């Protein structure tokens, strides 16, 4: 059956999701509240410090070989797994919550001490800086020279303030997700350069008595500033202790060898919860990133006067983007990263991927994502919910992709990493809220119709589903032709029914 998008199908799902959040409750977070399994129509206001840590040399690992072959991916995944284990141990010992660990990027939360204690925010920032330095120090010693695995180079960003905690994920994979400026700004600090160090926003700097600077993303804390935070926080655990425990754990529970097999398409049926290093997946596919553009500014605008609408907009749009990827186009959602969806698409068999069909499907999916996004905004607006300023930036790339789970037994995190994954994210990043971009490998692997659509700049504006299917089918792209034919067949009964209803009164008059 062809994969396609249909407005009525999308509208029905969006209406259902709007109904689920007709009533939304936003309450202040207290330490006795659980951040697990937050109801979809509820959000917590959380005043906390957000820490993001980026592994700067992940791309180097992915280019350790000229070709992106099995050895390259095995080394990269082992590289990540070694560091995930060390990070897990650090956060556990320091009572810091891991929000997410997405490939090279860690997001952690420091919510204690609570605001009822004196100088709570200052203490939280001191702790965050101390944990950040511990991460940097430990991960400099957690490589594996025998396996050609280097130590990780870490850049950390920190911000403090109020965010909304909502439910993230679906069955069996639920965790809190934080919407708001501090999470976004901390991420920008960690992703703002390629130099190792700890970078605080001016908000976080002022919380610990430091002066604001003109370019915080270019101003790392000095050694003395870090030492002052360490003295104040007194976390009670050293680098040497963590490294010793990490090595002992590896001896008792060694990382298994990575072994890859293909998943027979559609990827929608892939059970990620069953994956382990020894049962990992690898095949040629498309990685898709779809990011809600302008959402951070939207949250800042409404977090005080209409936080309920922030929750509604987020829930409705995210659920519909997920449905388009997984149900309409048989893709597999890897995870939500804040307000961004990451997923994979693959057409072919259990033995091989159909490169052209996969890229054409991804192109149609990109158009469908925008059509559903615009329909969701339209319906939210009809509900008197302000959606002004929101857009959707989409990027995708083709190549060999991996899917597995890494980390500690009982606390594994899903991981899909490859050159194509990193490129698809960067393609999305170069898009405005009305644009979609295709990576160079996908561009080369696609049909001439796909290349003509995206042009030499590999980027197109306002590409919705109808435009995508028409542009490709007019140039005999087989995937688009089949999708258009099936859409017509699905619409035929409705057209006939409407025609009957129109003709009947005239017949009766006869």
Consecutive 10-residue averages of pLDDT for the chain (510 residues): 88 97 93 80 94 95 91 94 93 92 93 88 98 97 82 96 83 73 94 95 98 97 98 95 93 90 98 95 98 94 94 95 97 92 97 98 98 98 97 98 88 93 97 98 98 98 98 97 84 55 42
Domains 7-22+258-491 and 34-252 share a fold: yes
H or E element that contains 459: strand 459-461
Query: What's the CATH architecture for 34-252?
Result: 2-Layer Sandwich (3.30)
Query: What's the CATH architecture for 7-22+258-491?
Result: 2-Layer Sandwich (3.30)
**What pTM was estimated for this model as a whole?**
0.92
What helix, strand, coil percent values describe the chain, rounded to 5?
A: 45, 25, 30
pLDDT score for 500: 54
pLDDT score for 338: 84
- CA dist 367 and 392 (Å) reads 11
Instruction: Work out whether the CA dihedral 485, 490, 496, 501 comes out positive or negative.
Output: negative
Whether residue 436 contacts residue 450, with contact meaning beta carbons closer than 8 Å, is answered with no
In DSSP terms, 392 is beta-bridged to 292
DSSP-assigned letters across all residues of 400-451: EEEEEEEEETTEEEEE--SHHHHHHHHHHHT--TTEEEE-HHHHHHS-HHHH
- CA dist 11 and 229 (Å) reads 52
Directed axis angle between helix 307-323 and helix 7-20, to 10°? 140
- CA dist 58 and 63 (Å) reads 9
Q: What are phi and psi of 68, to 5 degrees?
A: -85, 75
Q: Show me where the domains of the chain are located.
A: 7-22+258-491, 34-252
Q: What angle do CA 132, 135, 137 make, to 5 degrees?
A: 110
Whether residue 456 contacts residue 363, with contact meaning beta carbons closer than 8 Å, is answered with no
């Amino acid at each position: 059956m062809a994969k396609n998008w249909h407005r009525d199908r999308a509208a029905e799902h969006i209406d259902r999701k709007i109904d689920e959040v007709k009533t939304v409750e936003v309450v202040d977070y207290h330490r006795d509240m659980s951040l697990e399994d937050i109801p979809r129509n509820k959000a917590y206001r959380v005043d906390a410090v957000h820490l993001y840590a980026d592994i700067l040399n992940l791309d180097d690992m992915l280019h350790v070989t000229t070709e992106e072959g099995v050895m390259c991916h095995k080394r990269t995944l082992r590289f990540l797994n070694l560091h995930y284990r060390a990070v897990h141990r650090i956060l556990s010992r320091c009572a810091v919550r891991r929000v997410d660990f997405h490939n090279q990027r860690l997001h952690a939360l420091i919510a204690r001490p609570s605001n009822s204690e004196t100088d709570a925010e200052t203490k939280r920032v001191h702790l965050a800086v101390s944990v950040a330095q511990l991460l940097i120090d430990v991960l400099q010693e957690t490589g594996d020279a025998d396996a050609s695995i280097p130590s990780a180079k870490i850049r950390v960003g920190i911000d403090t303030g109020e965010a909304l905690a909502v439910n993230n994920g679906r069955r069996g994979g639920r965790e809190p997700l934080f919407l708001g400026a501090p999470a976004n700004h901390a991420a920008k600090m960690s992703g703002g350069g390629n130099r190792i160090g700890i970078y605080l926003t001016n908000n976080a700097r002022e919380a610990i008595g430091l002066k604001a600077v003109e370019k915080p993303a270019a101003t790392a804390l000095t050694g003395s500033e870090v030492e002052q935070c360490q003295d104040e926080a007194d976390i009670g655990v050293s680098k040497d202790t963590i490294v010793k425990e990490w090595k002992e754990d590896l001896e008792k529970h060694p990382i298994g060898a990575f072994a890859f097999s293909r998943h027979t398409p559609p990827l929608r049926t892939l059970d990620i919860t069953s994956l382990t290093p020894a049962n990992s997946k690898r095949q040629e596919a498309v990685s898709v990133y779809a990011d809600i553009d302008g959402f951070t500014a939207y949250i800042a605008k409404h977090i005080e006067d209409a936080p309920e609408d922030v929750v509604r907009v987020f829930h409705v749009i995210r659920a519909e983007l997920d449905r388009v990827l997984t149900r309409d186009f048989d893709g597999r959602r890897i995870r939500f990263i804040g307000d961004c969806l990451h997923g994979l698409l693959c057409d072919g068999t259990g033995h091989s991927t159909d490169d052209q069909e996969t890229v054409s499907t991804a192109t149609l999916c990109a158009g469908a994502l925008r059509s559903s996004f615009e329909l969701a905004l339209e319906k939210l607006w009809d509900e008197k919910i302000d959606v002004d300023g929101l857009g959707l930036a989409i990027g995708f790339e083709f190549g060999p992709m991996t899917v597995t789970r890494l980390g500690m037994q009982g606390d594994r995190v899903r991981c899909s990493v490859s050159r194509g994954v990193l490129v698809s994210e960067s393609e999305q990043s170069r898009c405005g809220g009305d644009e979609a971009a295709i990576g160079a490998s996908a561009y080369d692997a696609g049909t001439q119709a796909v290349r003509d659509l995206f042009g030499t700049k590999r980027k197109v504006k306002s590409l919705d589903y109808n435009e995508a299917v028409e542009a490709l089918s007019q140039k005999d792209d087989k995937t688009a032709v089949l999708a258009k034919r099936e859409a017509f067949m699905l619409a035929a009964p409705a057209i006939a029914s409407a025609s009957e209803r129109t003709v009947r009164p005239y017949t009766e008059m006869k």
